[in-house]
Structure 1
Amino acid sequence: MSKPEGISAGQIGIFLILFCIGSTPMFELGIDARQDSWIALGAAAIAGLGVLWGYRTLQNRAPEEDLAGLFKLHFGRAIGTALGLAMGLLLAYESMRNVRDFGELTSMTLLPETPIWCVMLLITGIAFYTVTKGVETFFRITQILLPALAGSYVLLLVLLLASGRIEPDRLRPMLENGLGPVLDTAFPDLLAFPFSQTIVLLVYWKYAAASKRAGAASYGAYAVVALFLVAVNAVIMMVLGPAIASIKALPTLEAVELIRLASFIERLDILVTLLLYIGLYVKISALYLASALLLRSACGLPLPAGALMIGPIIYGAAFLEPTNTFHLWLGLELSLKLTPIYQLLLPALMLVMGIGWVKRKAERQRAEGGRAGAGKTGAGKAGGADGAKGGSRSGGEPRSSS
C-alpha cells in the first residue's frame, strides 16, 4: 500500500505565492481605472482576503476532505459528485487558458517563427509529466522555483529604480473621478482574477491536514502576494503611464525594455519572459493537477488515468479561440463575469447551509471509518492468533504409526 501524500504548511504558503503571481504580471490589471488601477487592485485584494477566510472556514469543517468531498458533505453524494466533476472541468478550462497564454507569449517574444501548436504541446506535455508525479513532487518543485522568482523580481525593481524611469507623478491625480470607477473595476473582475482563484486551495489543503499552521501560512502568503501585485501594478503605471499601459499587450515587458544602465545592462525583457514562464508553468500544472485530483475524489479515477484523459482536453481546447484578441476578451471580459458563480456564490451557499451539521457529519464519518478500520485490524489479529493456535495444536499432536 502506497504512503499517503502529505505537504507542510510552508509548502502551502510557497505554492500560493507562485500560483497567485502566475501570469498576472503579463497584464496591467484594472487599467479601466487608469492611474488608480493599483487602488482598484488593492481593494480587490482586501475583499479577496475575506474570500480566502470563507474557503478556510469550509475546509475546517472537514480538514481531510477536498473540494469534491466538501460538495458531497453539503449536497449529498449524487449532487456532490456532479459538482466535483464540473469543478474539475472548470479548473481544466482555467489551465487551458494559461496554456494559450504560454503559447502567445512565446510567439510574441522568444520564438516568433515557431508554430504555436508546438509550444503548447510542449508545455502541456511537461505539465502532464508533473501531474503524474503527484502532489508532493509538485510542491517540492515550487520550493525550488521560489528563490529564483523572488530574487529576479527584486533585481528588476532595483534596476527600474536605478534607471530613473519611475515617475510618481503618473499616479496623479488620485481618485480623479471618485471611487465609482475604482470599485467598478475591482468588482467582480479583479476579485475573480487573480484573488478568488485561491479556491484551488480547497483541493490541496487536505494534504496539509496534519499541519495546524496551514491556515496561518495561507493568510501570510496571501498578504505577501497581494502587496507584491499591487506594488508591481503601481511601478508599471509609474514607468509607462496610463495612456501607454492601456494599449500595450505586455506592459511589464514594455517597462523593463526601457532599462538602460552603464551602456551594457539592457534587453532584460528576456529575464521577464523567463519569469513569466515559471509562473505560467506553476499555474498550468496546479490547475491540471487539481482537475485530475477532483476526478479521483469524485469518481475514483486513478491520478495517471485522469491526467491522461484531461491532457488532450486542455490541449485541444486551447485551439478553440481563433486569435489572441478573442482569447483575451473571453478571459478578461466574459469569463470574469461568470467565474464568481463557482468562486463566490457556491462557497457562500455552502457556508450558510452547513454552519453546524456538516462538521458533525464529517466527524461522524471519520469516527465510523475509524471503527471500521479498527474492526478489520482486530479481526485480522484474531484470525492470526487462531491460526497460530491451530498450527501449534496440529504441530503438537503425536503422529500415528502406520
Structure 2
Amino acid sequence: MEKAKVSVIQLFAMMLIYELGSALVVSYGVTAKKDAWLAILLGMCGGIALFFIYYFLFRQYPNLPLTGYARKIFGKYLGWVIGLLYTVYFMYDASRNLRDFGDLLLSSTLTETPLLALNILMVLTICYVLYLGIEVLGRTAEVLMVILICLGITGNLLVFLSGNVNLHHLQPFLEEGWKPILTTAFPLTTLFPFGEMIAFTMLLPYLNRPELSKKVWVSALISSGLILSYTTSLDIAVLGVEQVERATFPLLSTIGKVNLFEFIQRLDALVVFTFLITMFFKISILFYVSVIGMVDLFQLKNHQSMLLPSGVILLILSMVIASDFAEHIEEGLKTVMFPLHIPFMLIIPLLMLFITIIRNLFNKVS
C-alpha cells in the first residue's frame, strides 16, 4: 500500500463528493413518484446498515484493505479470487461512471465533441492526480468541497428567487402508498449510491485517526442522503413529477428555468461544473481502489506503474459498455443490480461478517 495518510476532513470531503456523484443530476429515486425524497432517506438508512457490516470488518483488520482481509477470512486462494473479483468490480463501476460523465457533457454542453475525446481527457487528469498520490486527492477534495457548497447555495437561491418552486407538486404525501417507496428504497437507493461506499473499505487504512472512521463515514452518509433527498424534492417542486421522470438530467432542467430580470438565465454551467467535480472524485476513487487492489493482490512495489495500463482498460470499458445512453441507464438500473451490486455490496460482506464472528467465538471457547 502507498505510504500516505489522509486526515479526517479530507476523508469526509472525499466521501461526501463521491456519494453525490451522478445521483445529484439524474432522475434519482423517481420511481417512487412524489415520495422520491422519502425513498432516498430510507435508502440512506439501508446504507447506514451496510456501513456497520463494513465497519465491523475494518475493526477486525484495521491495517488491511478489503482485498487483504478477504484472504484472511476466506483463505489464501479463495480470498485471492474474491479480492480479484472486487478489483474487477471497482473497475467496472468506475467505467460506468466515466460513461455517465461523458454522456452528460455530450447532451448538455459539448454536443459536437466525440465521447472518446471527453473520456480520454478525464482519464488522463485522473491518472495524473493519482500518480501524485491519495494525499493530493484528499487535499483537492477539501478545496473543491468548499466550491461545491458555494455553487449549491448560489443555485438554490436563484431557483427560489425566480419563483419556480411549487410545493403542491410534492402533494399528496403517499399518493401511491408505501409499495413504490419501499421497492425503490430497497435495493435501488440503498445500493446506489450508499452501497457504493464499499470502495472506502480499501481506503480506511490510510486514515490518520482510524478511531474516528465511524463518525466520518456516518456523517458523510447522512449529509449526502439529506442533500440528495432535498435535490430530488426541488426538482419535483420545480418541474413536476412527470417531467422529472422523462428528463435524463432533471437538475439541468431545474436550473434552466431560472430567469431573473430577463438577465440572469442559462445557468446550466453551474450544474455541469458541479457534475464535473463530483464525477471526477467518484471515478478517481473507484479507479484508485481498483489499482491498489491489483497492487495488493500481485504484490507490486507501487501503484504508479499500474495507472496508465489500467487507465487504458478503464477507457475501453467505458466505450464498449453500452451502444447508447439509454442502454447504459437500462443496464445500470436493471441488468447489473442483482448479479453484481447485491453480491458485492451485501452478500459477500455478510458472509465475511458471519465467518469472522464464528471464528472469534471458536477462538474464545478454545
Q: TM-score range by the shorter chain?
A: over 0.9
- The 1:45/1:210 distance shift into structure 2, 3 A limit, reads closer
String of CA shifts for 1:140-185, please: whole Å, max 9, x gaps.
1111110001111121112111111111111111111211111111
Using the TM superposition, give the Cα deviation of residue 4 of structure 1 relative to its aligned residue in structure 2, in angstroms.
2.2
CA contact (8 A) 2:198 2:345 kept: yes
CA contact (8 A) 1:10 1:214 kept: no
Structure 1 CA distance for aligned equivalents of residues 18 and 83 of structure 2: 21
Structure 2 CA distance for aligned equivalents of residues 264 and 147 of structure 1: 27
- The answer for unaligned runs of 5 or more in structure 1 is 362-402
Structure 2 CA distance for aligned equivalents of residues 360 and 278 of structure 1: 48
CA RMSD of aligned residues (A): 1.7
Aligned residues: 360
- The 1:264/1:181 distance shift into structure 2, 3 A limit, reads same
The 5 A counterparts of 1:172-191 are 172-191=171-190
Q: Which residue of 2 aligns with 1:334?
A: 335
- Higher mean displacement: 298-307 or 64-73: 298-307
The 5 A counterparts of 1:41-52 are 41-52=40-51
Using the TM superposition, give the Cα deviation of residue 305 of structure 1 relative to its aligned residue in structure 2, in angstroms.
2.5
Q: Which residue of 2 aligns with 1:318?
A: 318
Secondary structure in 2 aligned to 1:355? helix
String of CA shifts for 1:259-279, please: whole Å, max 9, x gaps.
111221111111111110111
CA contact (8 A) 1:62 1:359 kept: no
The 5 A counterparts of 1:274-285 are 274-285=273-284
- The answer for unaligned runs of 5 or more in structure 2 is none
The 5 A counterparts of 1:262-301 are 262-301=261-300
Q: In the alignment, is residue 251 of structure 1 matched against residue 250 of structure 2?
A: yes
Using the TM superposition, give the Cα deviation of residue 10 of structure 1 relative to its aligned residue in structure 2, in angstroms.
1.9
Structure 1 CA distance for aligned equivalents of residues 77 and 361 of structure 2: 19
CA contact (8 A) 2:8 2:209 kept: no
TM-score, length basis structure 2: 0.94
Structure 2 CA distance for aligned equivalents of residues 355 and 121 of structure 1: 45
Structure 1 CA distance for aligned equivalents of residues 237 and 18 of structure 2: 25
Q: Which residue of 1 aligns with 2:76?
A: 77
> For residue 329 of structure 2, what is the amino acid of its counterpart?
L
- The 1:269/1:5 distance shift into structure 2, 3 A limit, reads same
Structure 2 CA distance for aligned equivalents of residues 210 and 62 of structure 1: 15
Q: Tell which structure's C-alpha radius of gyration is larger.
A: 1
Secondary structure in 2 aligned to 1:138? helix
Structure 1 CA distance for aligned equivalents of residues 267 and 182 of structure 2: 34
CA contact (8 A) 1:292 1:306 kept: yes
Secondary structure in 1 aligned to 2:357? coil
Structure 2 CA distance for aligned equivalents of residues 224 and 12 of structure 1: 14
Structure 1 CA distance for aligned equivalents of residues 235 and 105 of structure 2: 21
Secondary structure in 1 aligned to 2:175? coil
Using the TM superposition, give the Cα deviation of residue 211 of structure 1 relative to its aligned residue in structure 2, in angstroms.
3.7
Structure 2 CA distance for aligned equivalents of residues 267 and 214 of structure 1: 41
Secondary structure in 1 aligned to 2:257? coil
Q: Which residue of 1 aligns with 2:57?
A: 58
> For residue 357 of structure 2, what is the amino acid of its counterpart?
I
Structure 2 CA distance for aligned equivalents of residues 178 and 119 of structure 1: 43
